[in-house]
């Protein structure tokens, strides 16, 4: 997902590796049976509404304080979110599965707290996880019927780390099927397993993707926070579109082992939350080395940085902030919201460097797409080979055949031309792949973000994450409006988005872009901005109540 002076090339690449653009199609033609869907809906009471208001206005430290003071238990919080899912998910289609063990885990964590054994700030906090991340007690489907029985009975390291920190894995969220790498005409948020995720701010609009369910669920108060994944834009776009905070971390900071892959040079998991501090707490727990993921073994990675600035210090005072030009500024309402954000930066003492631009080389879009096609074939086949039972015989070629045989369920609205193009690619030793990878990395690192930061002596780059969510269009697919996720995605550098306001009734986000391993600085500056911006992401949209 990136902007390009060549309009046709831009449209082509935006469709493909935005990895957000997927299916809003119709309501679910196939619905996986889940425990929470078989139970009667919860009747809303005044007590439930009062509890909901308390939860939606509280960040993780505040919820933890209530638990410490005996005003709240993990069981109460978990049951509340299960009730929320029962009430809201039939419309939202944000959640695929609720963890059948969630309440038992919550009870165990309550007992640990009573005994004085508190694991940390996530102790007893229920979160949702995108359904392309392995969890031992639930299937990991990537939204595909081909993986509906993918019970690996193991946790991805990121999940193991979260459990160790005391988080409750509440369930699995819907997503753009195969993380939106199946078709160039898909619409964000649709999967054959989970149906069509909708934006809680307006049910007729997209939740973006591919972490659609994670974004919609947090915005609708179905969990304290959620985990998404991104190859190019799939955390930051749904965060922006749903009015929440999202962090796409430096490549290698969070292990990808146990996550259904697209690209080993770009994939990462990232936190999605109502506010910056919650996202920072999650990221702190998620990170860590993993022998199964070489990217986490890089000696230069620092896994001990403090992401939790405790003071209300102004971290923007005197900072040089580059403004990356976006065509979205030609939209009067978007420009007005962005200008208000800039005004706040100036009041906080930031020094602007205006009108920065990146100029990708002529074949940047094609090279970027080729790299993803090559890596998807290689990485997915490698993932399949490590699955238990008969699923380890699955290959991309067999997956293509499966979809053709189940076209009445899998290909109701769009095809699988990306799969077919990837299958035609050779191995990763081919010169086409190696040259393309070298070129796009150089373009986004040395000739891209590194150059901008060095030339202008920048501390931060900001830009518009994306336009407001578009209307669901099951015929033509997504109407994505542009953004700069690709430079951070391909370089492997961090990208954080924070809500900055609304265009009419739909939220839009402000991107905080930095160099490798600058999460601590981005989080501190984003937290400063969040305090002064006239937008409260902790309040869920009224039309989901």
Whether 516 and 492 have beta carbons less than 8 Å apart is answered as: yes
Residue from 191, 210, 239, 368 carrying the catalytic annotation: 210
Task: Collect all residues with Cβ–Cβ distance below 8 Å to 436 and sequence separation of at least 6.
Answer: 366, 367, 368, 370, 371, 374
N residues, the chain: 545
130 is a catalytic site residue: yes
Task: Collect all residues with Cβ–Cβ distance below 8 Å to 362 and sequence separation of at least 6.
Answer: 6
User: Whose CA is closest to 483, among 326, 272, 267, 266?
Assistant: 326
Residue from 144, 234, 486, 516 carrying the catalytic annotation: 234
240 is a catalytic site residue: no
340-343: list long-range contacts, CB under 8 Å, 24+ apart.
340/500, 340/501, 340/533, 340/534, 341/462, 341/500, 341/501, 341/510, 341/529, 341/533
Whether 513 and 497 have beta carbons less than 8 Å apart is answered as: no
Residue from 15, 88, 130, 425 carrying the catalytic annotation: 130
Q: What is the distance between the alpha carbons of residues 52 and 49, in angstroms, rounded to a whole number?
A: 5
Task: Collect all residues with Cβ–Cβ distance below 8 Å to 247 and sequence separation of at least 6.
Answer: 235, 270, 271, 272, 279, 280, 283, 494, 495, 496, 519, 522, 523
Q: How far is CA 319 from CA 91, 223, 226, 496, in A?
A: 44, 35, 31, 17
Q: Which residue has the tokens 């004085």?
A: 116
Beta strands per DSSP E along 305-404:
320-324, 351-356
Backbone angles phi, psi at 282, to 5 degrees: -65, -45
Burial of 305 (0-12, 13-18, 19+ CB in 10 A): middle
Q: How many C-beta neighbours within 10 Å does residue 532 have?
A: 14
- Residue 463 has which token pair? 């830009």
Q: What is residue 294's DSSP assignment? A: G
- Residue 402 has which token pair? 């499966």
Backbone angles phi, psi at 242, to 5 degrees: -100, 0
291 is a catalytic site residue: no
**Which active-site residues does the annotation give?**
130, 210, 234
């Amino acid at each position: 997902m990136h902007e390009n002076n060549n309009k046709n090339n831009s449209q082509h690449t935006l469709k493909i590796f935005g990895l957000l653009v997927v299916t809003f199609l119709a309501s679910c033609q196939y619905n996986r049976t889940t425990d929470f869907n078989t139970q009667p809906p919860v009747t809303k009471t005044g007590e439930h509404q009062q509890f909901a208001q308390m939860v939606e206005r509280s960040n993780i430290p505040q919820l933890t304080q209530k638990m410490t003071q005996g005003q709240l238990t993990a069981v109460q919080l978990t049951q509340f979110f299960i009730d929320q899912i029962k009430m809201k998910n039939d419309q939202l289609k944000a959640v695929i599965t609720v963890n059948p063990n969630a309440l038992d885990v919550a009870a165990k964590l309550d007992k640990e707290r009573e005994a004085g054994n508190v694991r940390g700030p996530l102790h007893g906090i229920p979160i949702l996880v995108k359904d392309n991340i392995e969890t031992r007690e639930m299937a990991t489907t990537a939204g595909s019927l081909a993986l509906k029985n993918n019970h690996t009975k193991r946790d991805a390291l990121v999940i193991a780390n979260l459990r160790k920190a005391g988080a409750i894995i509440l369930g699995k969220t819907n997503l753009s099927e195969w993380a939106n790498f199946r078709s160039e005409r898909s619409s964000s948020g649709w999967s054959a397993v989970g149906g069509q995720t909708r934006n809680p701010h307006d049910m007729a609009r997209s939740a973006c993707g591919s972490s659609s369910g994670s974004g919609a669920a947090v915005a609708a108060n179905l969990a304290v926070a959620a985990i998404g994944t991104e190859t190019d834009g799939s955390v930051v776009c749904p965060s922006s579109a749903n009015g929440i905070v999202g962090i796409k971390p430096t490549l290698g900071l969070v292990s990808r082992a146990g996550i259904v892959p697209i690209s080993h040079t770009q994939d990462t998991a990232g936190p999605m939350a109502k506010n910056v501090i919650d996202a920072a707490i999650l990221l702190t727990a998620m990170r860590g080395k993993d022998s199964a993921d070489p990217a986490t073994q890089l000696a230069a990675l620092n896994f001990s940085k403090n992401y939790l600035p405790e003071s209300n210090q102004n971290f923007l005072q005197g900072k040089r902030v580059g403004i990356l030009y976006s065509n979205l500024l030609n939209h009067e309402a978007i420009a007005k919201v962005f200008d208000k954000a800039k005004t706040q930066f100036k009041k906080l003492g930031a020094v602007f460097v205006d009108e920065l631009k990146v100029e990708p080389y002529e074949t940047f879009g094609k090279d970027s797409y080729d790299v993803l096609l090559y890596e998807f074939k290689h990485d997915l086949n490698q993932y399949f080979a490590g699955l238990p039972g008969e699923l380890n015989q699955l290959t991309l070629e067999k997956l293509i055949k499966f979809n053709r045989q189940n076209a009445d369920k899998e290909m109701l609205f769009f095809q699988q031309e990306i799969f077919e193009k990837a299958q035609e690619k050779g191995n990763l030793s081919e010169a086409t792949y190696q040259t393309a990878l070298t070129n796009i990395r150089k373009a986004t690192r040395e000739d891209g973000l590194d150059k901008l930061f060095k030339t202008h002596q920048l501390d931060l780059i900001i830009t518009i994450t994306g336009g407001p969510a578009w209307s669901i269009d099951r015929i033509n697919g997504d109407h994505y409006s542009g953004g700069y996720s690709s430079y951070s995605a391909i370089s492997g550098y961090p990208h954080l988005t924070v809500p900055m306001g609304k265009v009419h009734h739909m939220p839009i986000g402000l991107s905080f872009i930095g160099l490798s391993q600058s999460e601590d600085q981005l989080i501190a500056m984003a937290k400063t901005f969040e305090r002064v911006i006239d937008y409260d992401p902790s309040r869920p949209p009224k039309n989901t109540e």
